[in-house]
Amino acid sequence: MSFELPKLNYAYDALEPHFDARTMEIHHSKHHQGYTNNLNKAIAGTDAENKTIEEILANISKYDVAVKNNGGGYYNHNLFWENISPDGGGKPEGKLLEAIEKNFGSFDEFKALFEKAAATQFGSGWAWLIKNGDVLRVVSTSNQECPLMDTAKDKGDILLTIDVWEHSYYLKFQNRRPEYVKTFWEVVDWKKVAERFNS
Ligand code: MN3
């Protein structure tokens, strides 16, 4: 069994003017494809070949670092493409909004915390909104680590994520990561986040 690059549910230019087509194309067809290919190489001949990506991540400490880097890269990007959409933006509603308000005070306070986590993650990594029972938390991880890994400091079910590697914003935003993070809100698919929250 081998992992495949997922198709996007939208065209590379569908998130314009927020996320530019060139970045989307390179990010998906080069970077994510690279993680996918290298994950398949890294698991070849190991017991990970017969496991789901979630099973691999949950036991990532058992595997070679190449499985961690590329398995995280493969999975994190799958989540990232899913939680953005040309129909995104706005704000969450219903039970998800209530949970955000209960845990962070208000939607704006949550956004500020998430922006800070994304902007201050040193070097490459990801920021996350995760859930442990009724508790929602904003956390960040380095490189391709993810909250499903047994090595993660902050573990939990993933509701929302943003890639803050430079390859996700440099062509359009150069070194202005905070501006990229603010733009992210224009494309967040809150329906998808709510699906994850309710499942
Ligand atoms: Mn990336």
Distance 94 CA to ligand 1 centre (A): 31
**Predicted confidence band at 154 (pLDDT cuts at 50, 70, 90)?**
very high
Distance 10 CA to ligand 1 centre (A): 17
- Between CA 134 and CA 196 the distance in angstroms is 13
Q: Is the pLDDT of residue 69 over 80?
A: yes
The pTM for the full model equals 0.96
**Residue 183 near residue 18 (C-beta atoms within 8 A):** yes
Which tens digits make up the pLDDT trace of 103-136? 999 999 999 999 999 999 999 999 999 999 999 9
Which residues, chain by chain, have CB under 5 Å from ion ligand 1?
Answer: 163, 165, 168
